[in-house]
Amino acid sequence: MSDAAFIEKTLAGDQSAFRILVERHQGMVYTIALRILKDKEDAEEVAQDTFVKAYQKLETFQGGSKFSTWLYSIVYNTAISRTRKKRLAMQDVKDLGDHAQLATSNKEQLTEMGRGEQRKYLELAMAELPGTDAAVISLYYLEEQSVEEVGEATGLSKSNVKVKLHRGRQRLQVELERLLKSEARTLVL
Partner 1 sequence: MNEEELNKITDELINDIGVVQPSAAFTDNVMAALPQTSTQKQPEAPLIGKLGWTLIAAGIASLVGLVFLFPNAGGSDGQVAMPFLEHLTESLNNGLGSLSNALSTNSVHLVGGIALCALFFAAFDQLLKRRWAPTINLF
| Minimum CB–partner distance for residue 135 and partner 1 (Å) | 12
| H runs (alpha helix) in 57-146 | 67-86, 99-111, 115-128, 131-137
Q: Does 37 bind partner 1 (CB under 8 A)?
A: no
- Can you give the C-alpha Rg of the chain in angstroms? 18
Question: How far apart are CB 101 and partner 1 at their closest, in Å?
Answer: 5
C-beta closer to partner 1: residue 4 or 11: 11
| Nearest to 126, CA basis, from 36, 29, 27, 186 | 36
What does the alpha-carbon distance between residue 5 and residue 24 come to, in Å, rounded to a whole number?
Answer: 13
Nearest approach, Cβ of residue 131 and partner 1 (Å): 14
Binding-site member from 6, 18, 70, 76 for partner 1 (CB under 8 A):
18
DSSP 65: S
CB atoms within 10 A of CB 29: 26
Residues 66 and 26: beta-carbon distance below 8 Å: no
Residues between 38 and 57 that touch partner 1 (CB under 8 A): 43-44, 47-48, 51-52, 55-56
Interface pattern 81-120 for partner 1 (x via CB under 8 A): -----------------xxxx-xx-xx--x-------xx-
Is 174 a binding residue for partner 1 by CB under 8 A? The answer is no
Q: Which helix (H) or strand (E) is 49 found in, with range?
A: helix 40-56
Letter for the amino acid at 78?
A: T
Determine phi and psi for 157, rounding to 5 degrees.
-75, 165
- Does 138 engage in binding with partner 1 (CB under 8 A)? yes
Q: Which residues bind partner 1 (CB under 8 A)?
A: 10-13, 15, 18-19, 22-23, 26-28, 30-31, 34, 43-44, 47-48, 51-52, 55-56, 58-59, 98-101, 103-104, 106-107, 110, 118-119, 122-123, 126, 137-138, 141-142, 166, 168-170, 172-173, 176
